[in-house]
Chains A and B, each alone.
Chain A
Amino acid sequence: MQNILQIIYLISSVTFILGLKFLGNPATARKGNLIAAGGMILAIFATIFLYTTETGEHLGNLGFIFGGLIIGTIIGWMIAKKVKMTAMPQMVSFFNGMGGACAALISMIEFRHLVSSGHYETASAGTLITIFAGLVIGTVSFSGSIIAYGKLEEKIKDFSLPAGQFINIGLLISLLGLSALMISGNIENTSVFYIILVLSVLYGVLFVFPIGGADMPVVISLLNSFTGVAAACGGFLYSNNVMLIGGILVGSAGTLLTVVMCKSMNRSLTNVLIGNFGGSNATAAATSTTFVGSIKEVTKSDAAIMMKYAKKVIIVPGYGLAVAQAQHVVHELEELLEKNDVTVKYAIHPVAGRMPGHMNVLLAESNVSYDKLVEMEEVNPEFATTDVVLVIGANDVVNPAAKTDPSSPIYGMPILDVENAATVIVMKRSMKAGYAGIENELFYKPKTSMLFGDAKKSLSELVSEIKSLG
């Protein structure tokens, strides 16, 4: 039996590696996901029916195990099916938090078991290290992910404690210190374990709290790799290779993905984590920078004329477009303009939406053809030859302050050079600042005109205006 289980674990491990490999290519990505899912199901059922303990017993409590599996499947399936595409990033964060919590609970149960069976004093340092690492990493991943989820859902506001950095470092040191003392046997009171648990929750919360706006995807990706490492700790604990491989694979791939994301935003990881992007700084910047100049509004009929008789129009979609669910109308506008011999392209900023690639998913959902989506490096030189740029619900990714104002929290982030185009029309709900909470000088430029209102409504009115022009 054990032999069959090990073979199945081997097969599952291969499916994880293959799955990740296929996920890296648009043509095979979906297949990759299904392969990995198949391997996971195989591993789960093999564990339930074939796993035997050291004394040769099969696993008990099958009722509870299947109960948990069924409840989890129903809830998970429903949430995942119902969630809107715009809310994907926070969903990933939420599910990631669940994995972290699972790892932490495993450590907790194993620790309680060690203590109650009297093996705690004799347990090897290695076992204790994996238990403590699983607890700390899993818990930080859980509480951090839940805060990230809350922030993206906009249920939790940016907030940073005065001297937050020092509190965080202090927390981390006491966390690691207490763990080390317990593992080395210098602290014998086992309830310190729960103090470590509480400190870990706190650390996760305070770690994510001050990290603001556009950096959230980076944090989620980082927490994702944390959970991978926490899962790998479980692999050590049970000498279980499939957990180890799955966990480490995600840990390393996730870490690299985090770095790649940082690069595409031109930010260093330390910068993100130490965070001068924080909420307090951003609001300070918002109040301190006010621009002289006036905002010019444009009527829909003028905008329609400008676009219909343009040669080239570039659409810059942002999160506002997604929130307004306007991706279908924008596709309609694009088709209409193409019929009038206008070249239309979409300029996709690497972090358009809330995460790298998020906007591509949203536009693909409304059947926008792939070759119309142009990435930032490619599209930036094109703005100079563009007649009209239509910015829909994007703000930070077109903010020239990223280039010109070293004091701006987004300074250094690569942006779309929309100001090089002949005219810029910005569709926005109001003059409210973007996700990073800072003012945008672009809106005050002479060539920029604003079109206020809900993106979906404005766009469909634009479409009918253009149609009425014949």
Chain B
Amino acid sequence: METILEFISKHIEMFYLIILMIFVGIELIGHVPSVLHTPLMSGANAIHGVVIIGSIIVMGQAHEIISLILGFIAVIMGTLNVVGGFVVTDRMLEMFKKKK
């Protein structure tokens, strides 16, 4: 218990950030028309592709073979998430733009 409290107070600014971001996320989505739900979900899907940063960091410090392999797969999967997510979202939104 003590160590968890210590962890929280050591990273307290991150916890503030989390709380704020929860509210920002809710504010942002609050009044979106249902027409945009699918593209929005897809766009949000692309944004959590930011997890790729973690895979790059881990890959850049990997030494032994299994970590290298796992890291390599992680980078590929993260890239798939980012690229696929943004491209699919853009394709959907392209449809919306065509109206007059």
A367 to B98, CA, bound (A): 7
B43 CB to closest chain A CB (Å) equals 5
B7 CB to closest chain A CB (Å) equals 3
Query: Do residues A238 and B43 form an inter-chain contact, with CB atoms below 8 A?
Result: no
- Interface size class on chain A is 35 or more
Chain B interface, >50% SS class: helix
A129 to B8, CA, bound (A): 12
A-B contacts, CB under 8 A, total: 383
Partner among B35, B60, B75, B95 whose Cβ is within 8 Å of the Cβ of A51: B60
Query: Do residues B86 and A30 form an inter-chain contact, with CB atoms below 8 A?
Result: no
- Please tell me if A17 contacts chain B, counting CB pairs below 8 Å: yes
Q: A244-B18, A256-B26 are in contact. Are A33 and B61 (CB under 8 A)?
A: no
A32 to B89, CA, bound (A): 10
A102 to B64, CA, bound (A): 19
Contacts of A238 in B (CB 8 A): 53-54, 57
Q: B20-57, CB under 8 A of A: which get 1 and which 0?
A: 01111110111111111111111111111111111111
Query: Do residues A105 and B71 form an inter-chain contact, with CB atoms below 8 A?
Result: yes
A378 CB to closest chain B CB (Å) equals 12
Tell me the residues in window 6-26 of chain B with beta carbons closer than 8 Å to chain A beta carbons: 6-8, 10-11, 14, 17-18, 21-26
Contacts of B42 in A (CB 8 A): 88, 92
Q: A105-B71, A253-B26 are in contact. Are A43 and B53 (CB under 8 A)?
A: yes
6 shortest interchain CB distances as A-B pairs: A72-B79, A59-B60, A126-B7, A68-B75, A252-B25, A76-B83
Interface residues of A (CB under 8 A from B): 12, 16-17, 19-21, 23-26, 29-30, 32-34, 36-37, 40, 43-44, 47-48, 51, 53, 58-62, 64-65, 67-69, 71-73, 75-77, 79-81, 83, 85, 88-89, 91-92, 94-96, 98-99, 101-103, 105-106, 108-110, 112-113, 116, 124-127, 129, 220-221, 224-225, 227-228, 230-232, 234-254, 256-257, 260-261, 264, 350, 355-358, 360-362, 364-365, 367, 369-370, 375
Contact sample, A vs B, 23 pairs, CB 8 Å cutoff = A23-B43, A26-B96, A43-B50, A59-B61, A67-B72, A72-B76, A72-B82, A83-B88, A99-B45, A102-B81, A106-B55, A110-B58, A116-B64, A124-B6, A228-B44, A242-B53, A247-B50, A249-B24, A249-B44, A251-B22, A253-B25, A254-B44, A355-B37
